[in-house]
Structure 1
Amino acid sequence: MKRAVLNATGLLVALFAVFPVFWMISTSFKPNREIFSSTPQPVPREPTLQHYREILTGNLIPGVTFTDFFVNSLLVAAATVLVSGLIALLAATAVARFRFRLRTSFLIMLLVVQMIPLEALVIPLFFMIQRLGLYNTLPSLILTYIGFSLPFAVWMLRGFVAAVPKELEEAAAIDGANRAQTFWRILLPLVAPGLVATSIFSFIVAWNELIFALTFINDQSRYTLPVAMTFFFGRDDTAWGSVMAASTLLTLPVMIFFIAVQRRIVSGLVAGAVKG
């Protein structure tokens, strides 16, 4: 009975979380008369690809297509994941393996930084980006998102690195492996699950962020997808069909990325040790 209650509760929570996604996808295939119907229709009676054709073949602004915004978001997200993952892994290894002055203060600062509302940093970061000469460029977003992702990534990876027995590294050293070989062949496979989890977090941060992308970029051809979504919201009306279709396409890369790396998330440290 206890297990049945827990399973039923978990199912209700899952349905509550999945329903908005289901409604988004369903609405993207509905014609406008069904979207604005006074009677809610969970499943479209007359499915249509009209909204997808409008956003994929039309120009949201003169000379710029939805694909251009998609490529901008993909470049920013990919660069953020790669750079933040590498820096976080090296920093987490240093924090977990070495003892140095102000080490505890550094760890505390990682937590403190995450408590600061991101909106409070818009103005100071804007002036900083201007002084660096990066205003209206995609690298300005990449640097900003890397800064947002690093505290969480370093803190999370530190636990994975600390959980790796030092005896494995010592055994590799005895067998003749140098520090670089020990890092890539022993430590990296063991912390891969944590690295993948932090990469998903970094990818979502860079893929969905709107405020900084709207503030740091003035050239419309360099807008990312979240900023491009604002073009569907007018003063008098909103193209809800296009909004839902664009939102569905915006969600797909995150889902594909998660599905591609989900094995690494659920794999344990023992699996990594065997592969190493």
Structure 2
Amino acid sequence: MVRRVRTDAAGLLVAAAVAFPLYWMVLSALKPRAALEAGDATPYTLEPSLDSFRRVLFVDGFGQYLLNSVLVAAVVVVLSTLCAFLAAVALTRYRFRARTTLLVMVLVAQMVPVEALTIPLFFLMRNVGATVPALGLNHLGSLMLVHLAFAIPLAIWMLRGFVAAVPRELEEAAWLDGASGFTFVTRVLFPLVAPGVVACSIFSFIMTWNDFLFARTFIISAQENQTLPIALLSFFKPDENDWGGIMAGSVLMTIPVLVFFLFVQRRLVSGLGGAVKG
């Protein structure tokens, strides 16, 4: 009993430590601007205000920034998950000569820091834009392409474990029933690894949605192609920062992530139980 109480208390402390920054963000967004400028550090407010949210929502182009972020995140999530799933199937269920080499390349791709690749990617996107303008600088295609390059290797490594956990007896049974390889992958394998697919989609969505570095680097002068993290820069001013607007914008950026997670969390917690019977 004492051990359980200690465990619960430790869990509550960890949860409080994780939730406190989110609470402070929401609190700062609801505090009046005068209180923030006066340095009010009280952990509550008796006069909540939505003025900070109004300032953010009425920023010129906010709707376009939101649409751009949604578009980039949606394309990256769908394409990276699909490509990673097919690659994980090929690397796990089949044997071919370059299999080990590809696995090593995928692993190495995860070891290089993003910051070290930003400048080379800038010149690469500039050269690509000379041939395919939609994938060059100042276009959303450059963000999609770069995020795909980082999201796919991570998703492949995540999905390999899920694909390998599916018993080969299921594949053999599907073949005996006359199912083709495509039918097995789409109708048997994909539903069983759905939790892994959902986990990969969550990581890809969060990584793309919260991106600031690539958006700042590749979208230089095209105001209409900027994303939400860049929109927060309008509240950073040389003389005085609008912390209420910054926190309100951060809250608005967090909501889609929570909505997306709640939308897919049922599939995330489902497992392989019941896949093999008899």
Alignment RMSD, CA only?
1.4
Aligned to 2:124: 128
Distance 1:167 1:67 in 2: 51
Aligned to 2:253: 250
TM-score, reference length from structure 1: 0.93
Per the alignment, in what secondary structure is the counterpart of residue 182 of structure 2? helix
Distance 1:115 1:169 in 2: 34
What is the one-letter code of the residue matched to 1:154? I
Does the alignment pair 1:67 with 2:69? no
Please, which runs of 5 or more residues in structure 1 have no aligned partner? 60-64
Aligned to 1:62: none
Distance 2:147 2:41 in 1: 39
Aligned to 1:165: 167
Note the 1:121-200 alignment, pairs <5 A: 121-133=117-129, 134-200=136-202
- 2:115 counterpart (105, 116, 119): 119
Distance 1:8 1:207 in 2: 34
Aligned to 2:34: 33
Does the alignment pair 1:105 with 2:101? yes
Distance 1:121 1:159 in 2: 28
Aligned to 2:49: 48
Aligned to 2:132: none
Per the alignment, in what secondary structure is the counterpart of residue 187 of structure 1? helix
Distance 1:126 1:34 in 2: 42
Distance 2:81 2:169 in 1: 25
Distance 2:180 2:40 in 1: 69
Distance 1:262 1:8 in 2: 26
Distance 2:87 2:177 in 1: 26
Return closer, same or farther for 1:137/1:200 CA change in 2, 3 Å cut-off.
same
Q: Higher mean Cα deviation, 179-188 or 195-204?
A: 179-188
- Report the alpha carbon displacement of residue 221 of structure 1 after superposing the two structures with TM: 1.3
Contact persistence 1:34–1:41 (CA under 8 A): no
Matched pairs, number: 268
- Report the alpha carbon displacement of residue 38 of structure 1 after superposing the two structures with TM: 4.2
What is the one-letter code of the residue matched to 1:207? W
- 1:241 counterpart (240, 244, 252): 244
Contact persistence 1:29–1:47 (CA under 8 A): yes
Please, which runs of 5 or more residues in structure 2 have no aligned partner? 130-135
Aligned to 1:266: 269
Q: Higher mean Cα deviation, 84-93 or 125-134?
A: 125-134
What is the one-letter code of the residue matched to 1:66? F
Residue-by-residue CA offset, 1:7-52 (whole Å, 9 max, x unaligned)? 2111111110110001111111111122234442222211111111
- Report the alpha carbon displacement of residue 67 of structure 1 after superposing the two structures with TM: 1.1
Aligned to 1:225: 228
What is the one-letter code of the residue matched to 2:55? E
Distance 1:39 1:74 in 2: 35
Q: Higher mean Cα deviation, 221-230 or 176-185?
A: 176-185
Contact persistence 2:33–2:52 (CA under 8 A): no
- Report the alpha carbon displacement of residue 93 of structure 1 after superposing the two structures with TM: 0.3
What is the one-letter code of the residue matched to 2:27? S
Aligned to 1:6: 7
Distance 1:2 1:105 in 2: 48
Distance 2:234 2:54 in 1: 16
Contact persistence 1:27–1:44 (CA under 8 A): no
Aligned to 1:88: 84
